[in-house]
Chain A
Amino acid sequence: QQQVKQSPQSLIVQKGGISIINCAYENTAFDYFPWYQQFPGKGPALLIAIRPDVSEKKEGRFTISFNKSAKQFSLHIMDSQPGDSATYFCAASKAAGSYQLTFGKGTKLSVIP
Chain B
Amino acid sequence: DSGVTQTPKHLITATGQRVTLRCSPRSGDLSVYWYQQSLDQGLQFLIQYYNGEERAKGNILERFSAQQFPDLHSELNLSSLELGDSALYFCASSAREGDSTDTQYFGPGTRLTVL
Contacts from A to B (Cβ < 8 Å): 31-32, 34, 36, 41-46, 49, 51, 89, 93-106
Q: How large is the interface on B (under 10, 10 to 19, 20 to 34, 35 or more residues)?
A: 20 to 34
The A-contacting residues of B in range 87-115, CB under 8 angstroms, are 90, 92, 94, 99-109
Complexed CA–CA distance, A34 and B99 (Å): 14
Let me know if B17 is at the binding interface, CB within 8 A.
no
How many residue pairs bridge A and B at CB < 8 Å? 63
Are B2 and A93 in touch, CB under 8 angstroms?
Answer: no
The distance from the CB of B89 to the nearest CB of chain A, in whole angstroms, is: 10
CB-based contact A99/B94 at 8 Å = yes
- 6 closest Cβ pairs, A-B complex: A98-B56, A43-B106, A103-B43, A100-B45, A32-B100, A105-B42
Chain A residue nearest to B102 in the complex (CB): A99
Q: A-side binding surface: helix, strand, loop or mixed? A: loop
- In the complex, A55 Cα to B96 Cα: how many Å? 26
Task: List residues of chain B with CB under 8 Å of any chain A CB.
Answer: 2, 4, 33, 35, 42-45, 48, 55-56, 58, 90, 92, 94, 99-109
Residue of B nearest to A99 (CB): B100
List residues of chain A with CB within 8 A of the CB of B45: 100-102
CB–CB A103/B102 < 8 A? no
Are the CB atoms of A43 and B107 closer together than 8 Å? yes
A42 contacts which chain B residues (CB < 8 A)? 108-109
